[in-house]
């Protein structure tokens, strides 16, 4: 079963449970939920015994499979605690925090399941910082920590949709993630070789993808100084030079302008792994 099949099956389970909760008598609903919990407990016990027969390296190898990772999270069998998983999620989104230069602190998760984060410095010079925080940080943290119900970043709280009984790991999140994403997330195929640039059309928007030795970053394919397209620009390490006006940008650090001094930064777009592929967030544009 691939990721999309697993997502579709999980969504179908949620739909069926929702129908039972809405239409059945309370006593029937309770029995159905008890049945589901019993099946999950049985499967979790079997999975726990299976993991006990594996060494640490073998368990780590299993984590490369998103479906298996989701099952481990569902049954509270993931080898990493919540703090380690959230720190890893934050590491994956630091390239999109612009002037914060990776300065984001994990303050903990409270008894209500709210993850508290603190950004260091200001958002000045961080293009699209509000959308970046909401779409990128929230999405990455909630993916890594299903036990969390909300993410609080500098007083901004975005909560997950709750149901009476939820089957993770592929149940619907507040971003509608399932076989189709909402909140501006779009799945994309990346073929960019290391040190190269790629142009993509997503939701009628032209994007520029840069492969920085295995780290992918996404921007609007337009130079903010001269409005020229950038896919034919020169990429030297982390530095991108516009082919028309020769403006220079740091594409690893949120597209910050290096020259001319005071020039606006490139418009960075959140780009995250999605199973065996990738997804990019374009605020305000829904998936087709």
pLDDT digits (tens, 9 = 90+) for 108-126: 999 888 898 887 654 444 4
Does residue 118 belong to any structural domain of this protein? Answer: yes
The total of structural domains in the chain comes to: 3
Whether 242 and 274 map to the same domain: the answer is: yes
Same domain? 32 vs 70: yes
Top-confidence residue, 154 or 92: 92
Q: Cβ of 16: how many Cβ atoms within 10 Å?
A: 13
For position 247, which CATH number holds?
Answer: 2.102.10.10
Paired tokens of 21: 């909760």
Instruction: Tell me: do 66 and 86 sit in the same domain.
Output: no
For residues 42 and 60, state if they share a domain: yes
Residues 243 and 193 in one domain: yes
Which band of pLDDT confidence, cut at 50, 70 and 90, is reported for residue 95? low
- Flag whether pLDDT at 266 surpasses 80: yes
pTM tops 0.75, yes or no: no
Lowest mean pLDDT among 28-42, 238-252, 264-278: 264-278
CB-based contact 268:254 (threshold 8 Å): yes
Strand partners, 188: 278
Q: Is residue 183 part of a domain?
A: no
Cα–Cα dist 284/288, whole Å: 13
Boundaries of domain holding 228: 188-281
Q: Is residue 158 part of a domain?
A: yes
Closest residue by Cα to residue 227 from 247, 200, 210, 211:
247
Q: Give domain status of residue 121, yes or no.
A: yes
SS3 label, residue 140: helix
Residue 213 and residue 161 share a domain: no
pLDDT digits (tens, 9 = 90+) for 152-174: 876 455 545 444 444 554 443 33
How far are the Cα atoms of 92, 96, 220 from residue 282, in angstroms, in the given order? 18, 13, 10
Tell me, yes or no, whether 288 lies in a domain.
Answer: no
What pLDDT is stored for residue 126 in this prediction?
47
Asked if 60 and 99 sit in the same domain, the reply is: no
């Amino acid at each position: 079963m691939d990721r999309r099949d697993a997502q579709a099956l999980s969504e179908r389970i949620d739909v069926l449970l929702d129908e039972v909760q809405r239409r059945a008598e309370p006593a029937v609903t309770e029995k159905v939920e008890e049945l589901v919990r019993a099946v999950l407990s049985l499967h979790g016990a079997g999975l726990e015994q299976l993991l006990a027969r594996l060494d640490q390296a073998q368990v780590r190898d299993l984590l490369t499979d998103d479906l298996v990772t989701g099952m481990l999270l569902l049954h509270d069998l993931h080898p990493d605690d919540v703090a380690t998983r959230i720190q890893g999620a934050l590491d994956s989104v630091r390239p999109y925090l612009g002037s914060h230069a990776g300065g984001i602190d994990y303050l903990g998760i409270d008894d209500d399941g709210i993850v508290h984060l603190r950004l260091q410095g200001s958002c000045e010079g961080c293009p699209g910082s509000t959308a970046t925080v909401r779409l990128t940080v929230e999405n990455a943290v909630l993916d890594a920590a299903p036990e969390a119900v909300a993410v609080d970043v500098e007083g901004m709280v975005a909560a997950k949709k709750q149901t009476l009984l939820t089957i993770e790991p592929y149940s619907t999140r507040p971003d509608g993630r399932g076989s189709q994403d909402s909140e501006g997330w779009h799945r994309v195929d990346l073929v960019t070789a290391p040190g190269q640039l790629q142009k993509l059309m997503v939701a009628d928007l032209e994007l520029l993808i840069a492969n920085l030795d295995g780290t992918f970053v996404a921007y609007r394919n337009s130079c903010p100084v001269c409005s020229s397209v950038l896919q034919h620009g020169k990429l030297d390490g982390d530095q991108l030079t516009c082919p028309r006006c020769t403006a220079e940008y740091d594409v690893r650090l949120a597209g910050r302008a290096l020259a001319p001094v005071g020039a606006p930064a490139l418009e960075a777009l959140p780009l995250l792994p999605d199973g065996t592929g990738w997804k990019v967030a374009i605020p305000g544009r829904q998936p087709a």
